[in-house]
Amino acid sequence: MKFRKELYNHLSKGDFHEALNLYKVYQKNMGTKDFFDSILTPVLYQVGDLWEKNKISVSTEHICSNTAHSIVNVIMERNSVPKTKQKILICTPNGEQHQLGCKILESYLSCKGYKVTNLSPSVPSESILQSIKTIKPDAVLVSITLQDNIKVAQRLVKKIREQYDSPIFVGGQALFMNNSAFDGTVIKEQSLDEISKTLKKEFSK
């Protein structure tokens, strides 16, 4: 809780250097994966909740997101590893403006060696379908942050399923308390490590 509180304070002030120093201290003892799962992700969900409840301004939400985005970029650069053969495409339904969760997932999976293409946020469905045709990913991950975008995401997943055989996984904050059905595998309340294990299990079939 102490680390989460400190990170939120640094992000809300746009203090990139202090936030990065906090990551370095935590990472030295607990590792990058645990920093994502136990610190950064919960703080970003907190930011999203505060914004939706109008307890912080749009500008504060943007400052938090942009600062966190910069930290994730640095983590990606420092944790690059040899790539595997598996390709993963991450996307969001059209209208979804939140991309930080996708950026964290991209960073984590890239650190695991996957070749990741991140199309977030808010790319038209036809562009996503064209990218799938071009890239030929071994799995497609659809992230939904706002419940208002669930129906759009359902239509997107249906279109992907109709045209391609790639496994489709759907997750995100919008699905934590929602039982909407998709033509794909729904991932609820899983850590980044568990998502990685789910993908590894899929690829080992």
Where among 51, 78, 105 does a domain terminate? 78
Position 44 pLDDT exceeds 90:
no
Q: Is 93 helix (H, G, I), strand (E, B) or coil?
A: coil
pLDDT at 82: 64
117 shares its domain with 182: yes
> Which range (92-101, 145-154, 177-186) has the least confidence?
92-101
Tens digits of residue pLDDT in 15-27: 999 999 999 999 9
pLDDT at 7: 96
49 shares its domain with 92: no
- How many whole angstroms separate alpha carbon 128 and alpha carbon 156? 9
Range of the domain at 54: 2-78
Where among 78, 105, 121 does a domain terminate? 78
107 shares its domain with 192: yes
68 shares its domain with 112: no
Q: How many domains does the chain have?
A: 2
74 shares its domain with 93: no
Position 12 pLDDT exceeds 90:
yes
126 shares its domain with 150: yes
103 shares its domain with 195: yes
pTM to 2 decimal places: 0.79
Tens digits of residue pLDDT in 122-162: 889 999 999 999 999 999 999 998 888 999 999 999 999 99
Tens digits of residue pLDDT in 54-65: 899 988 988 998
